[in-house]
Amino acid sequence: MASIRSDRVSRRGFLQAFAATSLVAAPTYSNAAGFLRGAGDIRRIKMYSGRTGEHIDMIYWIEGKYIADALKEVNYFMRDWRQDQATGMDTRTVDIIAASRNLLDTPEPFMLLSGYRTPQTNAMLRSRSSGVAKRSLHMEGKAADLRMNGRSVSQVARAAASCSAGGVGRYSGSNFVHVDCGQVRTWGR
């Protein structure tokens, strides 16, 4: 029996191509100028702080626009709790956090260990640990240290690194992942 060749794209082929494109494009919020803009695109952040007991679960971006009031809440949530001081967190870092959580495909929130740090807090932490950078991006509101129940440091780090949007550090011994919107790089194990 002769086979019939069709130049049409099969439904399965189309869906596979779409899925591959989505996996590449969707997580890189910081690099993509509004993926799916106008098509109901939203960005949501879901975290809690073991230090303050606070929780945040909100949409902070809708169809190409950040929501100013939501970002104010994010900034306060990610404040230096030791000094009770907030700064404007770089939205690229917030986007990396949101994209990483989406990639992990879980209802669980991230636990925020450290967001913004004042220079005083950074100096104090640096005096206690060799792993704290003198010019930490935390002091610029460009970094966060996170962990997630039910996901390993490796899983969280792979999700963040797949965004190709900043630095990702694995701190397996301390059970957290550092993410920032600085140069794309990875470190730790």
pLDDT tens by residue, 124-180: 988 888 778 888 999 999 999 999 999 999 999 999 999 999 999 999 999 999 999
Residue with tokens 């929780």: 55
- Decide: residue 174, CB within 10 A, 0-12 exposed, 13-18 middle, 19+ buried: middle
Q: Model confidence over 34-52: pLDDT tens digits?
A: 333 444 589 999 999 989 9
- Say what the pLDDT of residue 133 is: 83
Q: Which of 102, 91, 105, 107 is nearest to 25 (CA)?
A: 102
Answer for the pair 51, 81: CB distance below 8 angstroms, yes or no.
Answer: yes
Q: How far apart are CA 132 and CA 125, in angstroms?
A: 7
Beta carbons of 37 and 63 less than 8 angstroms apart = yes
In the prediction, which pLDDT does 140 show? 96
pTM: 0.78
Model confidence at 187, in pLDDT bands (50, 70, 90)?
A: very high
In CATH terms, the fold of domain 33-188 is Muramoyl-pentapeptide Carboxypeptidase; domain 2 (3.30.1380)
* pLDDT score at 131: 78
Per-domain boundaries in the chain:
33-188
Q: What is the pLDDT of residues 60-108, one digit of tens each?
A: 999 889 999 999 999 999 999 999 999 999 999 999 999 999 999 999 9
35-44: burial string, b at 16+ Cβ within 10 Å, e else = beeeeeeebe
